A and B are shown apart, each in its own frame.
Chain A
Amino acid sequence: MGKQKWALYWAASCGGCEIAVLDVNEKILDIAAAADIVLWPCAMDFKYDDVRAMADRSIDVCLFNGAIRSSEQEEIARLLRAKSRVMVAFGSCACTGGIPGLANLTTKDEILDRVYIEAQSVVGNGHPVFPQPHTRVAEGDLELPVLYEEVSKLSQVIPVDYYLPGCPPTPDLIMTAVNAIATGQLPPPGAVIAGEKTLCDVCPRVKQEKKITRIYRPHQIIPEPQKCLLEQGLICCGPATREGCGAQCIQANMPCRGCFGPPAGVIDQGAKLVSAVASIYEGDTPESVAAMLEEIVDPAGTFYRYGMADSLLKRKRVGTAGK
């Protein structure tokens, strides 16, 4: 069997997913043995037109990280889809929109105003200057891409065959995926390469099925190391997060923020977390409900930390309805 052809590509991403590939350390040589990497902009020089010139479906696997927030990213995603037999959404941003998806809680105009006018360090020259799609400078014209109004996950733009979640995915899971691909022993299409159950199901901390009487923010208490964080009053996204990371944050004494996305069967991670957290809170009186609401200061930004773009509503509604 000839060597496989792989492509690694990033869109709206932080680069951490690429570093995660380097974090397989010496196993990178196994990857090099299994596959020729035909496209990997971060680590290798490459020529983009080469990809355009390739026959359709001539790349065996494309590992795609980052979310989609511009026409260009969408265009490359479509191109790579056409050229690749297998498309893997790599990392939280590609799987569920990731942290950049939090931008869906605001609008593009709000972002531009904040960054280029309001920011305390910006020194206006009397008039605001925004980045423009076209600028005429003394020597000629310069163009900039226009950003989309919202961030999308990869599967909202192209069909995706497999999902490798995590911000970033762990080296173990990367190697699991790599080995499955290299040996052709692929799971059924649509599979998520991680566990099926919730993080709570595999979490090493002890759960006592007890109710909580108040929510703490992470800086407000020093939690005991062996007990469930949620039962100590810290919001932990474990009940609606897919297992597979090895409870990394939990081991560092910090609650999960859900980067592995929802487990099998859960449609909307945030809604599930509303349900889970409200259920464990003690008290039936209007006062206790009010206290809970007061203590949970940012439900959208916490329960959709990595999944805003993946949620049923996808983004904040802009403008008042009917107007």
Chain B
Amino acid sequence: MASKISIDPITRLEGHGKIEIFLDDAGNVKNAYLQVPELRGFEKFTEGRPVEEMPRIVQSICGVCPGAHHMASVKATDAVYHVDPPPVAKKLRELYYSAHMIHSHIAHFYALGGPDFVLGPDADPAQRNILGVIAKVGVDVGLEVIKHRAYAQQIQALIGGKATHSVCGLPGGMSRAITEDERKDVEAKARSCVEFARFTLKVFDDIVLNNEAYVDLIVNGPYDMKSYYMGMVDADNKVNFYEGDLRVVDPSGVEVVKFKPADYLDYIGEHTEPWSYLKFTFLKRLGWKGFVTGPDSGIYRVAPMARLNASDGMATPLAQAEYERLFNTLGGKPVHATLANHWARLVELLYASERLLELAEDPEVASPNVRTIPTATPTEGVGIVEAPRGTLIHHYQTDDNGLVKKANLIVATGNNYAAMCISIKQAAQEFIKAGQVVKQGMLNRVEMAFRAYDPCLGCATHSLPGQTPLEVTVRNAAGEVVDTLRQNLD
């Protein structure tokens, strides 16, 4: 008897991902769908707004990675106004953005994705949260986590007025410079963040890498998928979050293309399905071939593991060493294991911390020249950054007066959406077998496939990444619901 399983915590609730799993007559998984059930329409209601207001407006797409939207947007407005911000402004932006990455990656590892590993996938769901992690690693460590996430937020608030929904970005630069005293304060915090990032990698070693079962799950679990990878790189092909070209490598790790942000439309297309509000991106040169993997499919992946795969290394020394260790441990580049994202995220945490420190140590970052007043007639511009959860694209066209005529947004999670659907199906096929009673641990493993991407449905809709409540509905071939399971069932 065929069935459908839905993962949906709160029946039909907007903004929460919903997984529908259909079983065949034998009770095996036939197909799985990850549905994104809401749309807010920023692409439309930003029309008519002055383009310089966009950095303040669009970040309400997502309060978890508002800094990424703020930066992608402000870079797009630079391009619209044909203005090059002064070097200090660029440094200040990258400094701000490094702090943003630190906040997000810490929150993800300790509060969202980490609990799966720290507590184990079969742990009691009631424990599988940040408080459970603190209980396991100790209150002292918990306080360190809180402290360093707070540092990252404070640095963003210092520069941006508010940590969440900052206001500092303007076409041509930044609204305010920082003082020498403020720079020193940031430097001290950055130093501490570097140590904390190293400590976090150690935690990962102790808990995950020293546990053979986990390593096995990462390397041999049903979580690997051969796909293309995309990420932003600097001139040396090192990972960069704020600025650079986009590089795509094929499933064997060979560069297939490197392009300028402004040319994204030549390379990236979006596919729509009637059963989801979120669109699916794909590589145009390969085309949309459906939900299939491999070198002929245009599906590519973004976010930490993809960024590492698409680059030749990290631009800071400690992170570079960790980069090498990761690839050595996991059998060389590229790594297709989806769960390796958690490790890659920590390598990036270290890079962001080191980069933050480098920038904060530079006395020039506290100099006052942070604005170039645009003079050219505004036209059109693209701004791309690597958001914590992957490549984020903002593209605006304006009239001569700088009022938005068209806005196109490709959010990080959209890039991974097709791959996420496939990963979920794979995990479901592995863990749901004919006649087998569906257990909580299985559901969590399906969800782990999803959570490893750290999907920001906040960007896609609005809920928080990682812990997006999910409901699994199992339906038989006749379409009847035979079971409804929630990842958070007791």
Contact = CB atoms under 8 A, between A and B. Distances in A.
A19 B149 CA distance: 11
A123 B269 contact: yes
Given A111-B39, A131-B39, A219-B374, A16 B45 contact: no
Contact of A121 (B30, B374, B408, B467): B408
B45 A15 contact: no
Given A122-B269, A248-B162, A103 B41 contact: yes
B222 interface: no
B164 A145 contact: no
Contacts, number: 294
B373 A119 contact: no
B441 interface: no
B129 A121 contact: no
A311 B160 CA distance: 28
B275 A137 contact: yes
Contact of A41 (B10, B274, B458): B10
B53 interface: yes
Contacts of A248: 157, 161-162, 167
Q: How large is the interface on B (under 10, 10 to 19, 20 to 34, 35 or more residues)?
A: 35 or more
A12 B14 contact: yes
B192 interface: no
A229 B159 CA distance: 18
B288 interface: yes
Given A219-B172, A298-B49, A120 B406 contact: yes
A54 interface: no
Interface stretch (B54-62, B255-263, B308-316, B429-437): B54-62
A176 interface: no
Q: How large is the interface on A (under 10, 10 to 19, 20 to 34, 35 or more residues)?
A: 35 or more
A86 B104 CA distance: 32
A111 B45 contact: yes
A301 B49 contact: yes
Interface string A128-150: 11111001011111111101000
Contacts of A128: 272
B31 A138 contact: yes
A257 interface: yes
Contacts of A45: 125-126, 128-129, 467, 469, 487-488
A274 to B, nearest CB: 17
Contacts of A249: 161-162, 167
B273 A129 contact: yes
Interface stretch (B213-221, B276-284, B352-360): B276-284
A139 B165 contact: no
A57 interface: no
Contacts of A115: 39, 41, 43-44, 279
The B interface, classified by DSSP as helix, strand, loop or mixed, is loop
A69 B47 CA distance: 20
A250 to B, nearest CB: 8
Contacts of A99: 57, 60
A299 B30 CA distance: 53
Interface stretch (A22-30, A156-164, A182-190): A22-30
Contacts of A44: 129, 467
Contacts of B361: none
A318 interface: no
B452 interface: no
B466 to A, nearest CB: 9
Interface stretch (A70-78, A191-199, A203-211): A70-78
Given A10-B462, A23-B163, A121-B408, A131 B128 contact: no
A32 to B, nearest CB: 8
Contacts of A131: 39, 272-277
A275 B323 CA distance: 58
Interface string B4-17: 10000111111110
Contacts of B35: 142, 144
Contacts of A106: 41, 44-45, 47
A269 interface: no
A135 B41 contact: no
A213 interface: no
A221 B160 contact: no
Contact of B272 (A12, A116, A251): A116
B269 A14 contact: no
Nearest to A23: B153
Contact of B10 (A48, A69, A122, A143): A48
A118 B397 CA distance: 13
B428 interface: no
Contacts of B47: 106, 114
A256 B373 CA distance: 20
Given A26-B146, A123-B288, A142-B35, A298 B160 contact: no
Interface of A: 10-20, 22-23, 25-26, 28, 32, 41-48, 66, 69-70, 72-73, 76, 98-100, 102-103, 105-106, 108, 110-112, 114-116, 118-123, 125, 128-132, 135, 137-145, 147, 167-168, 217-222, 248-249, 251-254, 257, 297-298, 301-302, 305
Give 8 closest A-B pairs by Cβ, nearest first.
A16-B63, A252-B161, A45-B488, A111-B41, A139-B22, A99-B60, A14-B63, A48-B10
10 contacts: A10-B15, A12-B38, A15-B463, A23-B150, A69-B14, A115-B43, A121-B265, A122-B279, A145-B38, A220-B373
Given A14-B60, A19-B107, 5 more contacts: A25-B146, A131-B272, A132-B275, A137-B33, A298-B49
